[in-house]
């Protein structure tokens, strides 16, 4: 299939038109050159709009995004009255529901839901509502009963408060295991919903952590992704960030022949993903000094140093990179200690840190010295900026969210961690450029765009195939209605994605 595009601006190119053929950029040039080579095939006039590489969201949860879109969505909710209305509407729309599941409440915006509140709102069905960041869950009595959680139940790397119905970190898995497990047909629907939304934001590639997101077994999720990739039914390229908490299950996965780069250019196995601590908003991120507003609390590690070492060593033995969710500086200290034992000079497997939020200057320097990969989310700054000083104090805040320093010092790519944030790449670029009160560093528009394109492509070892508009690369691109590199920076957020093309196929059009 051949198609020509004319009358456009192209990032990092003097060309004003291009030709795609068999899913790749075949020619960049003038309108006359493209029209001549295109013959009688379709020709699209882009009316002066900007063409950029398709955005690479380098860390998200694609299947979980679709799951979130299928359940009660609570982001932005301000009070229990609105929550009651949500539950009532959901039950009316889903009269056969066995559980009521929702996500998105934020206790910096509303009263934290607890068992007493949820029992009053829903006394007859299990109800489980996850905090916006995914690290705290509030449940009613029915949910605790279904999960067989009582005063004798314990969760290593997590906490259970029976009186309030609040579960933190690894304890959440106890509830998830009791929920109805989706079959492969339903998992596919979640992936299709997630990729459709991602395409609408100009995203054509993702680094995605899915194995434990909607079901506690990697096999059905892996099966669906492999089926969709071979059917060419994926509209985003997926680099799977393989999360495991069970060592035996991970060893079995490796024994089945899976390691980095197994797959194809639609779906490929990426690094091992490990979660080492919680989050700033939930005050479960592991800090070296107590939280400023709760002097007795330093957060928590969700994996022991010994288990982190064993998982990292096993991954290294199988030539697999390791990326670790580490938000608090104490968690980062532990990760750096373990990485020093196993990482090769230059970090050829792109092992690194996911989030990179609460850092000290010595840690920033060490991350850059070790060339660790950094998966950051400028989208987090919007909500975290307003609570950062309150949570950890002004002095510690000075070196937090050092995304520009990391971008200059090592391989750093941007993303959304969806469904924690919606995968609005342009909004992430706007926040990175315009800055957020409480966070020191900002990026230029060029740097921010690169963090969502070239750097993301390099992060998943596809820099020769995606992340640039050049002849021979896959025709993965987005068309924007204005030039975000030259417009007023405050207008970036008003920019619209007019078209998203992946592998030469239009997957979104406004």
Q: pLDDT for 53-95, tens place per residue?
A: 999 999 999 999 999 999 999 998 898 889 989 999 999 999 9
Q: Specify the pLDDT at position 492.
A: 98
Instruction: Please name the residues in contact with 369: beta carbons below 8 A apart, sequence gap of 6 or more.
Output: none
Say how far residue 373 (Cα) sits from the centre of its chain.
Answer: 15
Helices 305-317, 329-342: inter-axial angle, 10-degree rounding: 40
For residues 285 and 298, what is the distance between their CA atoms, to the nearest angstrom? 8
Pairwise CA distance, residues 490 & 276, whole Å: 36
Interatomic CA distance for residues 338 and 401, integer angstroms = 22
pTM above 0.85, yes or no: yes
Residues of the chain where predicted confidence (pLDDT) is lower than 50: none
Report whether 298 contacts 288 (CB < 8 A): yes
For residue 359, the SS3 value is: coil
User: Per the structure block, which two tokens stand in for 348?
Assistant: 């050829």
All structural domains of the chain, each given as residue ranges with its CATH number in brackets, are 99-178 (3.10.310.70), 184-459 (3.20.20.140)
- CB 284 within 8 Å of CB 297: no
CA distance 163 to 476: 51
Decide: 503 and 476 in contact? Cβ < 8 Å. yes
Report residue 126 as tokens: 């299990």
Q: What is the pLDDT of residues 12-53, one digit of tens each?
A: 999 999 999 999 999 999 999 999 999 999 999 999 999 999
Cis? peptide before 419, omega within 30° of 0: yes
Structure tokens at 373: 């990969």
DSSP three-state, residue 44 = strand
The residues facing 274 across adjacent strands are 324
Closest by CA to 227, choosing from 261, 263, 252, is: 263
Residue 10 has φ and ψ, to the nearest 5°, of: -125, 125
CA pair distance 136, 150, nearest whole angstrom? 18
Return the structure tokens found at 263. 């797959």
Asked if 302 and 278 count as a contact pair (C-beta separation under 8 A), the reply is yes
Alpha helix (H) residue ranges in 343-378: 361-369
Q: C-alpha distances in angstroms, 50 versus 19, 446, 469, 476?
A: 15, 14, 12, 14
Q: What percent of the chain has pLDDT over 90?
A: 96
């Amino acid at each position: 299939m051949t198609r020509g595009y004319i009358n456009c601006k192209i990032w990092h190119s003097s060309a004003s038109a291009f030709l795609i053929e068999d899913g790749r950029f075949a020619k960049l040039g003038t309108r006359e050159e493209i029209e001549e080579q295109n013959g009688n095939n379709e020709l699209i006039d882009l009316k002066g709009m900007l063409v950029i590489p398709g955005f690479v969201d380098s860390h998200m949860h694609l299947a979980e995004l679709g799951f979130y879109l299928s359940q009660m969505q609570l982001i932005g909710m301000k009070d229990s009255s609105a929550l009651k209305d949500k539950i009532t509407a959901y039950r009316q729309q889903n009269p056969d529901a066995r559980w009521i599941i929702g996500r998105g409440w934020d206790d910096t915006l509303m009263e934290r839901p607890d068992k007493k509140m949820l029992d009053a709102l829903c006394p007859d069905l299990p109800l489980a509502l996850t905090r916006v960041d995914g690290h705290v869950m509030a449940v009613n009595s029915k949910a605790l009963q279904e999960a067989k959680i009582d005063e004798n139940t314990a969760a290593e790397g997590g906490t259970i408060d029976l009186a309030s119905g609040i579960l933190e970190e690894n304890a959440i898995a106890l509830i998830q295991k009791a929920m109805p497990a989706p079959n492969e047909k339903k998992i596919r629907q979640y992936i299709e919903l997630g990729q459709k939304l991602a395409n609408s934001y100009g995203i054509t590639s993702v680094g995605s952590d899915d194995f434990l997101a909607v079901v506690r077994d990697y096999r059905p999720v892996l099966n669906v992704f492999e089926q969709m990739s071979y059917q060419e039914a994926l509209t985003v390229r997926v680099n799977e960030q393989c999360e495991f908490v069970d060592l035996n299950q991970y060893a079995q996965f490796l024994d089945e022949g899976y390691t980095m780069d197994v797959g194809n250019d639609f779906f490929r196995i990426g690094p091992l993903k490990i979660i080492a601590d919680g989050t700033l908003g939930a005050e479960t991120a592991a800090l070296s000094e107590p939280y400023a507003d709760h002097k007795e609390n330093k957060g928590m590690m969700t994996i022991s140093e010994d288990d982190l070492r064993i998982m990292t060593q096993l991954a290294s033995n199988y030539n697999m990179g390791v990326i670790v969710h580490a938000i608090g500086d104490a968690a980062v200290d532990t990760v750096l200690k373990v990485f020093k034992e196993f990482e090769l000079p230059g970090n050829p497997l792109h092992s690194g840190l996911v989030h990179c939020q609460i850092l000290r200057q010595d840690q920033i320097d060490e991350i850059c010295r070790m060339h660790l990969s950094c998966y950051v989310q400028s989208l987090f700054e919007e909500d975290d900026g307003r609570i950062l000083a309150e949570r950890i104090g002004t002095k510690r805040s000075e070196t937090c969210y050092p995304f520009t320093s990391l971008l200059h010092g090592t391989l750093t790519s941007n993303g959304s961690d969806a469904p924690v944030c919606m995968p609005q790449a342009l909004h992430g670029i706007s926040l990175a450029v315009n800055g957020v009160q409480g966070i020191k560093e900002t990026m230029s528009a060029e740097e921010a765009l690169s963090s969502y394109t070239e750097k993301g492509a390099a992060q998943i070892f596809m820099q020769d195939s995606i992340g640039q508009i050049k002849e021979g690369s896959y025709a993965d691109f987005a068309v924007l209605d204005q030039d975000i590199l030259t417009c007023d920076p405050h207008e970036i957020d008003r920019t619209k994605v007019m078209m998203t093309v992946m592998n030469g196929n239009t997957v979104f059009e406004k």
